[in-house]
Structure 1
Amino acid sequence: MKVLVGALTVGAGFGALTSLINAVSHHYADLESRAATTSGVSAIEIVSVLVDSGWAWAGAAVAVGWLFTRVGESGPAALARGAAAGALALLAAVAAYSVMEVARSGEPLSSWHQEEPLLWWVTSVVFGAPLGVVGACAGRPGVIGLLTRLTVPVGAAVQMIVLPPGRNEVIEAVGRTVVWVGAAAVIAFVVVRFLGAERRRHSPAGVESL
């Protein structure tokens, strides 16, 4: 029950916040201006394209899978809990995003479930479950833990190459730079921390403590 409520709460908060940021961004963007369309940029718009990117939604599922798995827990139960948390979080995020979009458009709230295509609901489960498992493994020691902790920053960096977000080249360039710098910093931190932990584990003092 704790996993259910927690995953739904975090997911709904993320979806609602994403919709709200998008709304503010669109409000201040002059999409009818040629100059704004080709080169206009604002801080809130950068935040919008980053939060509403695929890697951010994937990161939310990974984070929830990590949050609702007990420290040191492993085995099928932990993986199942992570999978359920990741899928539920993304379903709640899509639902909250849909409700916010319907509310902003002035349409009846009863139509919220029709706001987003069926594809996004299916994707929430298909990708949310394995991403939640990744999060459940993020606290593990060794190579598995390292690889799972690198999933989000590496995925974010790759997306900036394959599909950078933004409505013009300036926003794409700024967003790409922000994500690459952030991803590089996170990757460096994770790798350095992993190497330090491995060094301590294999040091004479670490062996004696065992």
Structure 2
Amino acid sequence: MGSLRWLLASLGLGAAFGTVTSASNDVSSPYGTFGSQTAQTGWADVAKVASLLLDAGWAWAALAVAAGWLVGARFRGAVAGVVALAAAVTAYYGLDFILRGEPFALYQAEMLWWWVASLVLGSALGTVGAAVRCPGVIGLIAGLAVPMGAALQMVILPPGLDGYTENPEAVWVRLIVWVGAALCGGVVIARFFLAKAFQQPAGGAHTSADSTLISAT
């Protein structure tokens, strides 16, 4: 990816993520600018599921990991993670400011806090994303970071505080995350063992050929 294209891609990815997250929060709330018009409709239910999925720690972490994976190189991956998260934070609070019609000063302190967090966490998560492309155990561990993080959050801090019966959207979110984490983790593990299996015959054939040559001489 070109020297400027990867930076713009990270910026666009983060901005899109922050915008969609803020918009889904607004539509899912009956007090939101658009949510007040879609309340008690199917769109509101879909927005609630999207809001619970996107406005979660594992999803924001996955954003930085995805940005690093798209770039590939380790240093660029770290920068891409920071840029993606910072852009997402800016877009998120920027759209909140527009939709809620509140003074922008109310968001400045919180935005500054999350920009700092983007700098610290984004660089680490972006590096993890770049390491997903690495062969062997390093790529395996990096590839399992997001699905394991998502599953861990479902155990420690699951979405929805109203219980399984009173909040059906949270049930769907838990199901989606668990299934998605299992599928992603399975793909990563399968890729690891398949790569290992394809490497072994090549090594074995080389060793056999060397043994034949030695015995012939």
Which TM bucket (shorter chain)?
A: 0.7 to 0.9
Question: What amino acid is the match of 2:95?
Answer: M
Deviation at 1:206, TM superposition (A): 7.8
**Counterparts in 2 of 1:148 and 1:181: CA distance versus 1, 3 Å:** same
**Counterparts in 2 of 1:115 and 1:169: CA distance versus 1, 3 Å:** farther
Quote the Cα distance in structure 2 between the aligned partners of 1:176 and 1:20.
21
Q: 1:104 aligns to what?
A: 99
1:98-177 residue pairs with structure 2 within 5 A? 98-107=93-102, 111=105, 114=108, 116-170=110-164, 171=167, 172-177=170-175
Quote the Cα distance in structure 2 between the aligned partners of 1:57 and 1:123.
11
Question: What amino acid is the match of 1:187?
Answer: G
Deviation at 1:112, TM superposition (A): 8.1
Deviation at 1:194, TM superposition (A): 1.5
- What whole-Å deviation, never above 9, does each CA across 1:6-53 have from its counterpart, x for those lacking one? 211111111001111111111389xxxxxx9xxxx9332122101111
Quote the Cα distance in structure 2 between the aligned partners of 1:179 and 1:95.
26
Uncovered stretches (5+) of structure 1, i.e. residues with no partner? 30-35, 70-77
Look at both structures and tell me which one has the larger radius of gyration over its CA atoms: 2
Task: Give identity over the alignment, percent.
Answer: 46
Does residue 1:19 correspond to 2:18, yes or no?
no
Question: What amino acid is the match of 1:116?
Answer: E
Q: 2:200 aligns to what?
A: 202
Quote the Cα distance in structure 1 between the aligned partners of 2:48 and 2:31.
9
Between stretches 116-125 and 85-94, larger displacement belongs to 116-125
- Equivalent residue of 1:203, what SS? helix
Quote the Cα distance in structure 2 between the aligned partners of 1:164 and 1:139.
30
Q: 2:52 aligns to what?
A: 49
Deviation at 1:94, TM superposition (A): 0.2
Quote the Cα distance in structure 1 between the aligned partners of 2:184 and 2:8.
29
**Counterparts in 2 of 1:19 and 1:199: CA distance versus 1, 3 Å:** same
TM-score normalized by structure 2?
Answer: 0.79
Between stretches 131-140 and 182-191, larger displacement belongs to 182-191
Quote the Cα distance in structure 2 between the aligned partners of 1:204 and 1:68.
30
Quote the Cα distance in structure 2 between the aligned partners of 1:105 and 1:81.
36
TM-score normalized by structure 1?
Answer: 0.81
Q: 1:89 aligns to what?
A: 84
**Counterparts in 2 of 1:52 and 1:205: CA distance versus 1, 3 Å:** same
Quote the Cα distance in structure 1 between the aligned partners of 2:25 and 2:97.
13
Quote the Cα distance in structure 1 between the aligned partners of 2:202 and 2:17.
45
Between stretches 4-13 and 133-142, larger displacement belongs to 4-13
Between stretches 88-97 and 180-189, larger displacement belongs to 180-189
Assess if the C-alpha contact under 8 Å between 2:93 and 2:111 holds in 1.
no
Question: What amino acid is the match of 1:60?
Answer: L
Deviation at 1:193, TM superposition (A): 2.0
Quote the Cα distance in structure 2 between the aligned partners of 1:190 and 1:132.
18
